[in-house]
């Protein structure tokens, strides 16, 4: 990989990669290290990349593999079908998100188990197609979407709890209760 290509790859993807690394590792130091190691591998092994359009996928996949390599153990998490979780989603409006501190958004994300955190992070980073996310995780697209659905539900539960606490303290907007119909 020549200098210009490398610099282009850094300029274009390092922020999203860092964010992805942060969501995996849960702290800034490890996020930086994961990002650095990923680009280090791009420098040493990027010559094998024949198709420049694959750089993005290659970087995200490599970072994820590096992270998995760091982990001592892997846990298997239960698989949820979309239909089983939708009803759990509480009603939450954009205004409720507006009053959340950005740290609260991140903390809620980091509170999710990795199985859910990875697809929902990639969903909100807006950088990859579902096919790319599925390829990265080595699961079918349907599984990505079911995990995403579950993850969004869990995030909202946390924000609702936070909103209820804030509501009691008259800090933020009242929640709309979900109708039973």
Partner 1 sequence: MNNEAAKLILQAYRPGGQDANDPQFREALEQAQRDPDLARWFANEQALDSRISAKLISSLKPPAHVKSHLLAQQKIIRPVAWWRQPAWQLAAACLALVITVAAIWFKPAPAKGFIEYRQEMAEFVGNKLDRLDLMSRDVGEVRRWLAQQESHGDLILPAGLGGRPSVGCRLLNWNGEKVSLICFELENRQVAHLLVIDRAALENTPTESPVFTTLEDIATVSWSQGDKTYVIASKGGDRFELIKLL
How far apart CA 143 and CA 137 sit, in angstroms, is 10
DSSP state of 126: T
Out of 137, 155, 160, 163, the residue judged to bind partner 1 by CB under 8 A: 155
Out of 59, 66, 109, 160, the residue judged to bind partner 1 by CB under 8 A: 109
Angle at the Cα of 58 (from 53 to 62), degrees rounded to 5?
170
Q: Are 90 and 178 in contact (CB under 8 A)?
A: yes
Number of residues written out for the chain: 181
Taking alpha carbons only, the member of 44, 42, 37 closest to residue 20 is 37
Site for partner 1 in 20-49 (CB under 8 A): 22-23, 28, 31-32, 35-37, 39-40, 43-47
Taking alpha carbons only, the member of 56, 158, 38, 143 closest to residue 110 is 158
- Shortest reach from residue 61's CB to partner 1, in Å: 18
79 interacts with partner 1 by CB under 8 A: no
62 interacts with partner 1 by CB under 8 A: no
Binding residues for partner 1, rule: CB under 8 A, are 1, 3, 6-7, 10-11, 14-15, 18-19, 22-23, 28, 31-32, 35-37, 39-40, 43-47, 82-83, 86, 89, 92-94, 97-98, 100, 102-103, 105-106, 109, 121, 123-126, 129-130, 141, 145, 148-149, 152, 155
């Amino acid at each position: 990989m020549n200098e210009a290509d490398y610099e282009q790859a850094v300029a274009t993807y390092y922020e999203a990669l860092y964010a992805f690394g942060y969501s995996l590792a849960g702290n800034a130091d490890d996020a930086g290290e994961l990002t650095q190691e990923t680009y280090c591998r791009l420098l040493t092994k990027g010559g094998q990349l024949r198709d420049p359009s694959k750089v993005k996928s290659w970087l995200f996949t490599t970072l994820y593999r590096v992270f998995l390599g760091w982990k001592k153990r892997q846990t298997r998490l239960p698989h949820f079908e979309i239909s089983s979780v939708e009803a759990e989603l509480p009603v939450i409006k954009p205004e409720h998100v507006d009053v959340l501190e950005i740290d609260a958004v991140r903390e809620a994300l980091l509170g999710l188990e990795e199985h859910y955190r990875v697809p929902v992070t990639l969903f909100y980073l807006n950088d990859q197609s579902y096919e790319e996310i599925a390829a990265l995780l080595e699961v079918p697209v349907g599984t990505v979407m079911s995990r995403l659905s579950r993850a969004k539900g869990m995030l909202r539960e946390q924000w609702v709890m936070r909103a209820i606490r804030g509501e009691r303290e008259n800090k933020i907007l009242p929640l709309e209760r979900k109708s039973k119909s």
